[in-house]
Structure 1
Amino acid sequence: MQEDRQVADALEHVFAADSTIYQERGFQRRVGFGERPALVHIDLANAWTRPGHAFSCDHMDVIIPAVQRLNVAARAKGCPIVYTTTAYDVVDGSVSDMGLWAQKIPLETLAIGSEAVAIDDRIAPEPGEQVIVKKRASGFHGTNLSSFLNAQGVDTVIVTGVTMAGCVRHSVEDAIAEGFRPIVVREAVGDRVPGVVQWNLFDLDAKFGDVESVDRVVEYLEQIAPFESRAGVRAAA
């Protein structure tokens, strides 16, 4: 689309200038890959991945195949795979668990147990893979994600999903705060508004994690040793 191309051209001009500022001030360093990665897929449920929902995002024809590739590579090495979805037990009345966030966005469409909040069956979890229900933007906020990853000895989180400006961004910021190396997969993240993905990829890469192509991440996953959980190693000892 012409609008997308115009936005991309404008952002490239901005990024060139901003990169100079960041580099002069010591930003844009690399956290790099660790040795024990997990995939963390943020909100790749039907309300975000399928058309016709209030939360529907663009470019699923690119995101879904990228996630499929990552899943194949990660499963071959036994890496933990975690999915999040955002869902609520009570979507009306004064005792709703949606909180004040519902005054900004239509959380009432995300009822727990509904088809809308189920993970897209094109990238469906396999037995043993975690699906975490969250109430807030970050996959870490108020969930057991950090403790689960720590129990598995994970040092790197490979992040995909939507939305780039919201739940993905907050999850990446929390990941590095919790001591994990965040790797954001360029082709496997999305949003609804032109330019939002590109800007947030640029800004996260400068401050909070590394942005890498799906080809580079798949290559990394293919090169690592097979994954064993910390608990499994203890039991064997």
Structure 2
Amino acid sequence: MTDRQTTESYAKARLGESVPLGVRPAVLVIDFSCGFTDPECPLGADMSREVEATRHVIDAAREVGAPVVFTTIGFEANGRDGGLWLRKAPALAELRVGERWVELDPRLGRREGDVVILKKGASGFFGTNLASVLISSGVDTVILCGATTSGCVRATAVDLLQYGYPTLVPRECVGDRAEAPHRANLFDIQAKYADVVGLDDALAYLQSLPRRPAEGF
């Protein structure tokens, strides 16, 4: 099937409609840990551009008092907490709790008040308290960034829709190890789960909001 045929097929199915955004967003950064943004790690790739673009979103969110939440993947040294995922993707065992590959990329500028959620599955929601964190802060919209587009970003986008959060995915702020799965999954995320937008659109949305008091978590 050609790209044109695919687009026509999705359009016929009436996929890809936008949903209204709220006024209390959070920025959710999925797994931009050193293990994914440093090509020295077997799991990693050079995501400098994506990290830099995400930093722009984070800074804009801070200007309006919107919370920033990070996730990172980490397992115990024995790997027993990894379940079947470590059998399917053994390189994930490189992400050991307490070691560098689990640390957030310092270029993101994480602050003391930001929430960091340790996860052991693909979705940011699986086995974590992410839903409680968002609910307790009154979040009604999410700007989703991170890695990888075809893995944990997509899984989180699916769950954000199912939890009822309108979601923006700035295409410059998500990355993958290869271009083909990156592009295919952005196409499908746009069709079914979130609104894939340009970085400028995400920044304009944040800048249109009134500043709210920093509440913390």
How far off its partner does 1:21 sit? Answer: 1.3
CA gap of 1:131–1:222, structure 2 versus 1, over 3 A, is same
- Matched with 2:162 is 177
Secondary structure, in 3 states, of the residue corresponding to 1:82? strand
Q: Distance in 2 between matches of 1:228 and 1:28?
A: 34
The one of 36, 41, 57 aligned to 1:48 = 36
CA gap of 1:23–1:147, structure 2 versus 1, over 3 A, is same
Secondary structure, in 3 states, of the residue corresponding to 1:97? helix
Percent identity between matched residues is 37
8 Å Cα contact 1:15/1:202 also seen in 2: no
8 Å Cα contact 2:43/2:92 also seen in 1: no
- Matched with 2:121 is 136
- Matched with 2:177 is 192
How far off its partner does 1:32 sit? Answer: 3.6
TM-score (norm 2): 0.94
8 Å Cα contact 1:190/1:197 also seen in 2: yes
Residues 1:89 and 2:76 aligned together: yes
- 2:208 counterpart letter in structure 1: Q
8 Å Cα contact 1:57/1:162 also seen in 2: no
- From the CA coordinates, give the structure whose radius of gyration is larger: 1
8 Å Cα contact 1:63/1:189 also seen in 2: yes
- 2:62 counterpart letter in structure 1: R
Q: What per-residue deviation string (whole Å, max 9, x for no partner) do you get for residues 176-217 of structure 1? A: 101111111100111112211111111110111100111110
- 1:208 counterpart letter in structure 2: Y
How far off its partner does 1:90 sit? Answer: 3.8
8 Å Cα contact 1:151/1:231 also seen in 2: no
Worse-matched range after superposition: 31-40 or 127-136: 31-40
- Matched with 2:55 is 68
Tell me, which stretches of 5 or more residues in structure 1 are unaligned? 1-12, 233-237
Q: What per-residue deviation string (whole Å, max 9, x for no partner) do you get for residues 29-85 of structure 1? A: 112422111000000000000121111124x23202101110110001110100000
Secondary structure, in 3 states, of the residue corresponding to 2:117? strand
The one of 112, 124, 134 aligned to 2:97 = 112
Q: Hey, which bits of structure 1, 4+ residues long, moved more than 2 A?
A: 13-16, 89-92, 227-232
Secondary structure, in 3 states, of the residue corresponding to 2:179? coil
Q: Distance in 1 between matches of 2:65 and 2:48?
A: 26
How far off its partner does 1:135 sit? Answer: 0.4
Q: Distance in 2 between matches of 1:36 and 1:14?
A: 40
How far off its partner does 1:144 sit? Answer: 0.7
Q: What per-residue deviation string (whole Å, max 9, x for no partner) do you get for residues 133-169 of structure 1? A: 0000000111111111011111111001101110000
Alignment of 1:159-170 (within 5 A): 159-170=144-155
- Matched with 1:79 is 66
8 Å Cα contact 1:73/1:218 also seen in 2: yes
How far off its partner does 1:17 sit? Answer: 1.8
Tell me, which stretches of 5 or more residues in structure 2 are unaligned? none
Worse-matched range after superposition: 206-215 or 60-69: 60-69
8 Å Cα contact 1:70/1:218 also seen in 2: yes
- Matched with 2:207 is 222
8 Å Cα contact 2:29/2:71 also seen in 1: yes
CA gap of 1:124–1:140, structure 2 versus 1, over 3 A, is same
- Matched with 2:14 is 26
How far off its partner does 1:23 sit? Answer: 1.5
Q: Distance in 1 between matches of 2:102 and 2:174?
A: 18
8 Å Cα contact 2:37/2:44 also seen in 1: yes
TM-score (norm 1): 0.86
How far off its partner does 1:230 sit? Answer: 8.2
Q: Distance in 1 between matches of 2:113 and 2:14?
A: 41
